[in-house]
Chains A and B, each alone.
Chain A
Amino acid sequence: MMLNIGNKQQRVDGPQKVSGSATYSADITSQFYHAYVLQSSIACGSITALDTSAAEAFEGVKGIFTHKNLPERLKNRVDYTDPLSPPGKPFRPFYNNKILYNGQPIALVVAETFEQARYASSLIKVTYKEEEFKGSLYENLKNASADRTPDPASNRGDFKKAFKNSEYTITQEYRQSRNYHNPMEPHATSVEYKDDGSIVVYDKIQGVGSSLKYLNGVFGLGADKVQVKSDFVGGAFGSGLRPQYQLFMATLAALELKRNVQMVMTRAQMFSFGYRPEVIHTMKLGCSKDGTLQALSHRTVGETSTFEDFNETIVDWSGLLYKCEHVNLEYELTPVQSYTPLDMRAPGGVSGVYALECAIDELAHEAGIDPLEFRRKNYVDYDQNEDKPFTSKELMACYDRCEELFGWKNKKTSSENEPHLLTGFGMATGSWEALQQPASVSLTMDENGMFTIKCATADIGTGTYTVMSQIAADKLGVPIEKIEFKLGDTAYPDSPIEGGSWTVSSVGSAVAGVCKKFQYRIADVWKRNNPDYQQVDFDAILFQDGNLEYDAKTFSFAEIMQQASKEELSIAHNEAKIEGQTTHSGYAHCCVMVEVTVDQDLGIIKVPRIVNVSAAGKIINPKTAENQLLGAMIWGLGMALREEGMVDSKYGRIMNANFAEYHIAVNADVHNIHAEFVEEKDDKVNPLGAKGVGELGIVGLASAISNAIYDATGKRLRKLPMLLDDILEV
């Protein structure tokens, strides 16, 4: 029998996706009223007058909601948090007339058509009283404080002394601009209102459980009155980790008007909630004459909103990646007049490692040591922050393989014959956590031997449908065609949110667990109905091709069911966290190398070649894993050279809230790009030995590009994104 785990299985939901029949949250075709949100045009102050009369009178308008008519029951003793709310007070739409950020929803117009709602919103007259504010991190650096951040990993050794005694040192500042998730599918919620007052909510979310928790907290409908579904999610990258305001809006309108209501954000509105925060890093590194890293200090200041303390794990990465005895880590936040930031692909890690990997490159050059050799020299095989061994770490194998694939030793430009181009090469290390969360699944087999496995998890493009089917097929011993994996429904067993690259390890381990239970159960049924086999040892039984095999005899599952006159067999399973996580640290690692060309005359930066070699435990599906890794690498390219959410500090407004001006990588930006995995055996990280790969590929990439630009031009651009004006200016 062919093994499914490790096989390049095509996506099981492929036919729906390529035929346009995959239904995303805005694709529900019931008859809906459409909702459109009017947003604040100031960042700080209050609304002094709001006149909705002209909008109300406009054709097709069915209702308008503002702070003036928000139902009282939504104001008192109401819980607006969701499972990932940071410390602070969550935003409460229409709670009062206060304005906390530019783009804040101030009115919701519901009409028969989207165009009517949108036009009517333009008829609302708003008068504000403005107040002074600080719109950007830079203007507000003085207020940075560590009071409201969790403590980073403890300092160790004596940084000051070790830095002073170092032969080579660097002290540098690195800046990152704000980035917005911008999945291609705008956030959307479709609410179907039923006659009994219950609602079915189709939400764009990375875990339906989060939407349900939020709706119950805010609207208090009771478990039997709300069902949240999300069959397909058109990308999220973190934007769906918290319910966004369209969920509140569509639900409010549906409940008040007792009608189906749909709200789909515009692209501009996709810039009106969370984002990867702007941060500034200060790095001080020192090494001995032979290149031994002996002192490291990493201080980061990040932005948050005035009402929630959004924090990330940024500086800890610097205490983790290389062997170093004297380490100082500091992390501070400063509030700006903006919505709260939000976890975005490899949150914290991608930021911390960006600064670290640029600084390491600078120090290696100071010491006159090849950057790859420098990293090998300072390799570490245990977690110094937590003083624990790793569950596995094959980073050295990644270095070796990447060096070979890229040809690091004899680096050759791929664009000869073009004298105006400067070529450079750069590299970096990347890493991401390998965590497992508790997850529950249920399994049912029908009389024909068809399996349905359910879990309230999500597939945001990562391949959950496919990978879970593969795991189930192998762990049950049945062909993959006999498995239907269902997700995205609060009627299914609880799942952690899809994030943190932990879905395969968490849900996958639960799937493996339920399959094992099933095998015991079907063996019991078989034994009970076959007296001759009552004493058979479970381990002597083979499960394959949908059959139970013993002593060269084959019994199909369907047969066993018939014999027992059973129509279906159902099992539930709950995977608790496993031991390994407390005694060991789990991380995936990678090495990335890039070639960059810089046009001497025009400053244009291109990346003709990227190679990433990763160690991420057992790879369940090399096809989807490679795709995810490549996608994350291209995100790294976009972060390095393209993406910049520009804040107008006078108005606190995002100036480039559209795809024409907020640039993400396009097809023509991507040239020769390669990703592969090295073998990594891990029997501790989780029962599958698998580590997630959705985030790993972005970590380190921007540094590799920055380092390559230096190699090409001799210029250090210590900021992201790195633009052609930076090349021409320095």
Chain B
Amino acid sequence: MKTNHVHFTLNGESVEVSIEPWTTLLDYLRYNQKLVGTKKGCDHGQCGACTVLIDGNSVNSCLCLLVSLEGKEITTIEGLGTAENLSTAQQIFIDEDAYQCGYCTPGQICSTIAMRNRGEINSEEDLKDWMSGNLCRCAAYKNITKAARRIYEES
């Protein structure tokens, strides 16, 4: 199988790989890197469970081919903080009980951080619209909204 060469930064470390061009970032993270914190909920860009940060913006990693990420900076949930050393955003999700099963949570957290990085949230509606790309079947939306607002304002 023909492979392509690509080089990027993953959670702060520089990585160079040769890989089949059809490999998605999501599959690369989960299968190749064993970074399983990023979840697959649909593989079709419809649920947001696979959200990661690329140069600080939120991206559905299931819709993104790894070979297209030359020179990019990729951050996954594992790059934000560990269970022993949580980032502010992660701690806020715990404080606000902004989850139930936790499956959508890594994606939700990455989306809130991208929202904060970008700014331009002027109302509750804006915030809810922004966060609506991340489905939560447990429907912890009320607390997710609270956590997202705090992350936007406080961190």
B34 at the A/B interface (Cβ < 8 Å)? yes
Q: Which partner residue on chain B sits nearest A627 by CB separation?
A: B97
B-contact bits for A167-201, CB 8 A (1 contact / 0 none): 00000000000000011111000000000000000
Decide if B145 touches A667 in the complex (CB within 8 Å): yes
Q: How far is the CA of A186 from the CA of B103 in the complex (A)?
A: 10
- Flag whether A317 is at the interface (Cβ < 8 A): no
Contacting pair A184 B47 (CB below 8 A): yes
B65 smallest CB distance to A (angstroms): 13
What 1/0 mask marks residues of chain A from 619 to 660 whose CB sits below 8 Å from any chain B CB? 000011001101111110010000000000000000000111
Question: Which chain A residues border B34 with CB–CB below 8 Å?
Answer: 29
**A residues in contact with B122, CB < 8 Å:** none
List residues 16-50 of chain A with CB under 8 A from any CB of chain B. Answer: 16-24, 26-27, 29
Contact A235 B100, CB 8 Å, known A634-B141, A668-B132: yes
Q: Of B1, B35, B76, B136, which is within 8 A of A184 by CB?
A: B136
Q: Which chain B residue lies CB-closest to A632?
A: B139
Cα–Cα distance between A115 and B104 once the two chains are bound (Å):
24
**CB pair B142 A115 closer than 8 Å:** no
- Cβ-based interface call for A266 (8 A): yes
Tell me which of B2-10, B36-44, B66-74 binds A.
Answer: B36-44
Q: Tell me if B154 is interfacial: C-beta within 8 Å of chain A.
A: no
Q: Once bound together, how far apart are the Cα atoms of A266 and B62, in whole Å?
A: 13
Assembly CA distance A177 to B128 (angstroms): 28
Report chain B residues within 8 Å CB of A264: 40
- In contact, B101 and A233 (Cβ under 8 angstroms): yes
* Contact B140–A627 (Cβ < 8 Å): yes
Q: Which residue of A lies closest to B37 (CB)?
A: A20
**Quick one: CB contact mask for B7-41 with A, threshold 8 Å, 1 for yes?**
00000000000000010000100010011111111
Q: Which residue of B lies closest to A17 (CB)?
A: B102
What residues of chain A lie closer than 8 Å to B91, measured between beta carbons?
18
B101 contacts A18, CB within 8 Å? no
Q: Tell me which of A115, A460, A631, A668 contacts B128 (CB under 8 A).
A: A668
When the two chains form their complex, are residues A667 and B83 in contact, meaning their CB atoms are under 8 A apart?
no
Is A123 on the interface with B (CB-CB < 8 A)? no
Interface check A54, CB cutoff 8 A = no
A20 in contact with B139 given A461-B102, A659-B47 (CB within 8 Å): no
Is B46 in contact with A658, judged by CB distance below 8 angstroms? yes
Contact assessment for A670 and B143 in the assembled complex, using a CB-CB cutoff below 8 Å: no
Within the assembled complex, what's the spacing in Å between the Cα atoms of A24 and B37? 10
A residues in contact with B38, CB < 8 Å: 20
Q: How far is the CA of A664 from the CA of B42 in the complex (A)?
A: 14
As a 0/1 sequence over residues 519 to 560 of chain A, the CB contacts with chain B under 8 angstroms (1 = contact) are: 000000000000000000000000000000000000000000
A24 x B103 contact (CB < 8 A): yes
Let me know if B58 is at the binding interface, CB within 8 A: no
A19 contacts B82, C-beta separation under 8 Å = yes
Judge if A113 is at the interface, Cβ distance under 8 Å: yes
Q: Which of A15, A460, A660, A667 contacts B144 (CB 8 A)?
A: A667
Q: Which residues of A contact B99 (CB under 8 A)?
A: 11, 14, 17-18, 461
A184 touches B137 (CB 8 A): yes
CB of A462 closer than 8 Å to a CB of B: yes
If A21-B82, A668-B129 touch, whether A461 touches B101 (CB-CB below 8 Å) is yes
- B142 engages A670 (CB within 8 Å): yes
Query: Is the CB–CB distance between A16 and B46 below 8 Å?
Result: no
* Contact residues in A for B78 (Cβ distance below 8 Å): 19-21
Is B61 in the interface zone, CB < 8 Å from A? Answer: no
Across the two chains, which residue of chain A brings its CB closest to B131? A667
Choice from A29, A634, A660 contacting B139 with Cβ under 8 Å: A634
Shortest Cβ distance from B129 into A: residue:
A668
Closest to A270 in B: B42
Instruction: List, in ascending order, chain B residues with CB within 8 A of A185's CB.
Output: 39, 41, 101, 103
**Cβ B102 vs Cβ A234 within 8 A:** yes
Contact B138 A631 (CB under 8 A): yes
Note all chain A residues with C-beta closer than 8 A to B97.
10-11, 623-624, 627
Give the contacting residue for A660; candidates B46, B94, B101, B102; CB below 8 A: B46
Q: Flag if A631 contacts B90 (CB, 8 Å).
A: no
Q: Are B101 and A267 in contact (CB under 8 A)?
A: no
Whether a CB of chain B sits under 8 angstroms from the CB of A13 is yes
Query: Would you give the 0/1 interface string for A436-464, flagging 1 where the beta carbon is closer than 8 Å to chain B?
Result: 00000000000000000000000011110
Q: Answer whether residue B152 sits at the interface, using C-beta atoms and an 8 A cutoff.
A: no
Residue of A13, A114, A624 touching B102 (CB-CB under 8 A):
A13
**Does B135 sit within 8 A of A, measured CB to CB?**
yes
CB distance from B110 to the nearest CB of A (A): 10
Q: Are B139 and A15 in contact (CB under 8 A)?
A: no
A666 located at the interface, meaning its Cβ lies under 8 Å from any Cβ of chain B in the complex: yes
Of the residues B44, B82, B83, B125, contact of A658 by C-beta under 8 Å: B44
Cβ–Cβ < 8 Å partners of B138 in chain A: 184, 235, 461, 631
Q: Is A237 an interface residue (CB 8 A)?
A: yes
Give every chain A residue within 8 A of B77 (Cβ-Cβ): 18-20
Q: Which of B115-132 contact A (CB under 8 A)?
A: 125, 128-129, 131-132
In the complex, residue of chain A having the shortest beta-carbon distance to the beta carbon of B22 = A115
- Give the residue among B42, B136, B139, B143 with the most A Cβ atoms within 10 A: B139
Residues of B within 8 A of A659 (CB): 41-42, 44, 46-47, 135
Using Cβ atoms and an 8 Å threshold, which residues of chain B touch A627? Answer: 97, 100, 140, 143
Q: Are B137 and A237 in contact (CB under 8 A)?
A: yes
Contacts of B80 in A (CB 8 A): 19
Query: CB-nearest residue of chain B relative to A674?
Result: B142
Contacts of B31 in A (CB 8 A): 113-114
Q: Which of B42, B47, B134 contacts A667 (CB 8 A)?
A: B134
Q: Which of B34, B84, B103, B137 has the most CB of A within 10 A?
A: B137
| B95 in the interface (beta carbon within 8 A) | yes
Expressed in whole angstroms, the Cα–Cα distance for A29 and B46 within the complex equals 25
How far, in Å, is B145 (CB) from chain A's closest CB? Answer: 6
The answer to whether A183 and B103 have CB atoms under 8 Å apart is: yes
Contact of A234 with B94 at beta-carbon distance under 8 Å, contacts A27-B36, A631-B139 already known: no
Instruction: Provide the bound-state CA to CA distance between A19 and B78, in Å.
Output: 6
Residue of B nearest to A59 (CB): B1
A305 to B93, CA, bound (A): 42
Query: Is A18 a contact partner of B94 (Cβ separation < 8 A)?
Result: yes
One of A13, A18, A24, A660 near B109 (C-beta < 8 A)? A18
Name which residue of chain B comes closest to A666, CB basis: B132
Asked if A186 meets B41 with Cβ closer than 8 Å, knowing A13-B102, A659-B135, the reply is: yes
Residue of A nearest to B103 (CB): A234
Q: Report A613 CB to chain B, min CB distance, Å.
A: 16
Q: In the complex, A398 Cα to B31 Cα: how many Å?
A: 50
Q: Are B90 and A232 in contact (CB under 8 A)?
A: no
In the complex, A572 has a CB within 8 A of chain B: no
Write the A229-269 contact mask toward B (1 if CB under 8 angstroms, else 0).
00011110100000000000000000000000000101100
In the complex, which of the residues A11, A13, A19 contacts B90, with contact meaning CB atoms closer than 8 Å?
A19
Contact A20 to B76, CB < 8 A, known contacts A658-B44, A667-B128, A667-B132: yes
Asked whether B135 lies within 8 Å of A18 as measured between CB atoms, the reply is no
Do A183 and B40 touch (CB < 8 A)?
no
**A638's closest neighbor in chain B, by CB?**
B139
Given contacts A14-B94, A15-B94, A19-B86, contact A460 B139 (CB under 8 A): no
Give 10 new A-B contacts, CB below 8 A, not counting A21-B37, A631-B139: A18-B99, A19-B90, A20-B77, A20-B78, A461-B100, A667-B132, A667-B134, A667-B136, A668-B128, A668-B131
- 28 A–B pairs (Cβ distance < 8 Å), ordered by A: A18-B93, A19-B82, A21-B82, A22-B102, A23-B36, A26-B36, A26-B40, A114-B31, A115-B22, A184-B101, A185-B103, A234-B101, A234-B102, A235-B137, A266-B43, A267-B44, A631-B138, A633-B139, A634-B139, A634-B141, A659-B41, A659-B42, A659-B47, A665-B141, A667-B132, A668-B125, A669-B141, A670-B139
Nearest 9 A/B pairs, CB to CB: A20-B37, A461-B101, A234-B103, A17-B102, A461-B100, A634-B139, A20-B77, A659-B46, A14-B94
Show the binding face of A for B, using Cβ within 8 Å.
10-11, 13-24, 26-27, 29, 59, 113-115, 182-186, 232-235, 237, 264, 266-267, 460-463, 623-624, 627-628, 630-635, 638, 658-660, 664-670, 673
